[in-house]
Amino acid sequence: MRTPLPDYLTEVLEVCGTDSSGELAAYIPELAAADPDRLALGLCTVDGTGYAVGDDAVRFSIQSISKPFAYALALADLGLDAVLAKVGVEPSGEAFNELSLEEDSGRPLNPMINAGAITVHALVGMDRVRRGFAAFAGRELAVDDEVSSSELATADRNRAIAYMLRNHGIVEDDPQEVVAGYTEQCSLLVDVADLAAMAATLANGGVQPVTGEEVVPRWVARQVLSVMATCGMYDAAGDWFTTVGIPAKSGVSGGLIGALPGRAGLAVFSPRLDQHGNSVRGVQVFERLSTDMGMHLMEVPPPARSLVRERAPLPTGDGHGEVFELQGSVDFVGMERFLRELADEAPSESAVVLDLTRVHEVRDVGRRMLLEGARRLSLDGHRVEFVDPDGMLAAFPDGDSGPGEGDADGDGRPDGAESAADDPLVDVGDGIQARVRRRR
């Protein structure tokens, strides 16, 4: 069979493709000469599968969509505090070409406006941008020299910004060189598949889902997504967040990306822009995807099933006791409820078996709560035993780790769990240990 995904994505393009309103960016001939009817959509999942439909072969200059990625590189290289000292994180409520500098310090309000992006570029430099963007996209990106020199010829506003930034001590390098570099950054050629992969890297905690390379640390991805959520869509941030609810960034050449944390990266290309400078059909595609796929960050998912699938007496012959068959994700919400149930109706028998066979995920806070429950049951005189055939209890080293650390084979089961000796003991606190059965 053929996977229906491309059909689904193509259908979305067809629905949104009829709108021919909006205008091409006109400040350089290269953008004004774009074919206004081009429309493409790319999607890249966090496990590295990419789809691209429509005019997906068209390459275009990345423009402002480069901003979040350069910001990510700066954060990764210099750390949060050093970057915050130069660029803030507050929405400006202004168009992208406003100065938007803090009154006294001259610090740009956020990295998604030009002043912030120029500052960020000065922090990392074009070499790092080239290398970093290649890591994000999973391939080398070329600079469109015509776009670059055309933009450089009309970059007076950016030069003004760069000199103002050096005046405030925010930028220290030669403003002309910084602007030249920033213009090159904006002229890197991408297609929707590239952008979807780049967005997916942010959605995937900084790990490029195809190459598996950790391009930036997990905390960097979180910071960048947060700033995209509040500052990514210029002066329409509130409107975007209420209607679409996906961290996003648009560019003047008609690109628009979105990142769904833990799920996928999305990219649309359609050159006609609305009055905010965002792609008209790009916005429509995102609205459609958000509604259809339930991707709004504030969309409340249907309540998960109870963590406890079944509470049953031990099978005959296993002695007096009770089995709690858990399912789904062992997280804060589920554990809170389970612990409450244990408190409300204490197990009547001496043996308590916690069966994790149907559990598919153990969050860090959930594991801690589970072990604390086991400790308290032990203190109450119960003998606690885990059934954990898939080794879910073996914790990730810490809450920030992602694939590649502790789960090199990507099967969702911590490394080593598969080959661990049967029936080990796990320490639940106060020197108390519980047995872990590796078979059901």
Span 143-162, contacts to a copy of itself by CB under 8 A? 156-157, 159-162
Q: Please, what's the largest Cα pairwise distance for the chain? A: 84
Residue 393 CB, nearest approach to a copy of itself (Å) = 14
How far apart CA 251 and CA 97 sit, in angstroms, is 12
Regarding 175 and contact with a copy of itself (CB under 8 A), the answer is yes
Nearer to a copy of itself, 271 or 366 (CB): 366
- Minimal distance in Å, beta carbon 115 to a copy of itself? 11
Residues ≥6 apart with Cβ < 8 Å to 218: 205, 206, 400, 401, 402
- C-alpha span between 256 and 269 (Å, rounded): 6
| 51 contacts: CB under 8 Å, gap ≥ 6 | 5, 6, 9, 42, 43, 44, 196
Q: Could you give the 3-state DSSP secondary structure of residue 212?
A: coil
The answer to whether 174 contacts a copy of itself (rule: CB under 8 A) is no
Under 8 Å between Cβ of 253 and 231: no
Q: Is 223 in the site for a copy of itself (CB under 8 A)?
A: yes
144/186 Cα distance (integer angstroms): 9
Residue 265 or 271 having the CB closest to a copy of itself:
265
Using the rule CB under 8 A, is 166 a contact of a copy of itself? yes
How many CA atoms does the CB half-sphere of 386 hold within 13 Å?
29
From the list 128, 130, 139, 413, which residue makes contact with a copy of itself (rule: CB under 8 A)?
413
- Report how many residues bind a copy of itself under the rule CB under 8 A: 104
User: Is 140 or 418 the residue whose CB approaches a copy of itself more closely?
Assistant: 418
Query: In what helix (H) or strand (E) does residue 193 lie, and over which residues does it extend?
Result: helix 192-203
State the minimum distance, in angstroms, from the CB of residue 199 to a copy of itself. Answer: 13
Partners of 101 in the beta sheet?
108
Of 79 and 294, nearer to a copy of itself (C-beta) is 294
Instruction: Name the residue nearer to a copy of itself (CB basis): 189 or 365.
Output: 365
Q: What are phi and psi for residue 22, nearest 5 degrees?
A: 95, 170
> What is the helix (H) or strand (E) element at residue 434, kind and residue range?
strand 432-437
Task: Work out which of 60, 241, 286, 386 binds a copy of itself, going by CB under 8 A.
Answer: 241
Cβ nearer to a copy of itself, comparing 139 with 358: 358
In the region spanning residues 98 to 137, those forming contacts with a copy of itself, defined by CB under 8 A, are 99, 110
Distance CA 228, CA 260 (A): 11
Q: Using the minimum distance from each CB to a copy of itself, give the nearer residue, 131 or 360.
A: 360
Residue 24 touching a copy of itself (CB under 8 A): no
Residue corresponding to tokens 């796990």: 426
Question: Which residue's CB is nearer to a copy of itself, number 344 or number 422?
Answer: 344
CB of 167 to a copy of itself, least distance (A): 4
Residue 373 engages a copy of itself in binding (rule: CB under 8 A) = yes
96 lies in the binding site for a copy of itself (CB under 8 A): no
Q: Which is nearer to a copy of itself, 99 or 420 (CB)?
A: 99
Stretch that binds a copy of itself, among 44-52, 139-147, 278-286, 315-323 (CB under 8 A): 44-52
Measured from the CB atom, the residue of 148 and 204 that comes closer to a copy of itself is: 204
H-helix segments, 111-188:
114-137, 145-153, 156-167, 175-186
User: Do the beta carbons of residue 73 and residue 220 sit within 8 Å?
Assistant: no
85, 142, 145, 226: which one contacts a copy of itself (CB under 8 A)?
Answer: 226
- Where would I find the beta strands (DSSP E) of 319-350? 321-330
- What is the dihedral sign for C-alpha 407, 390, 332, 45? positive
Scan residues 292-351 and list those touching a copy of itself (CB under 8 A): 292-306, 327-329, 332-333, 336-337, 339-340, 342-343, 346
Quote the DSSP letter at residue 111.
T
- Check residue 395 for interaction with a copy of itself (CB under 8 A): no
Q: Is 202 or 273 the residue whose CB approaches a copy of itself more closely?
A: 202
Tell which one of 102, 140, 380, 427 touches a copy of itself (CB under 8 A). 380
Would you put residue 263 in left (φ > 0), alpha (ψ -120 to 50) or beta?
alpha
Q: Which of 61, 66, 92, 270 binds a copy of itself (CB under 8 A)?
A: 92
Give the separation between CA 271 and CA 253, rounded to whole angstroms: 6
Q: Is 23 in the site for a copy of itself (CB under 8 A)?
A: no
Q: State the minimum distance, in angstroms, from the CB of residue 117 to a copy of itself.
A: 16
What gap in Å lies between CA 154 and CA 249, rounded to an integer? 23
For residue 45, state whether it binds a copy of itself (rule: CB under 8 A): yes
Q: What share of the chain is helix, strand, coil (3-state, %, to 5)?
A: 40, 20, 40
User: If binding is defined by CB under 8 A, does position 263 make contact with a copy of itself?
Assistant: yes
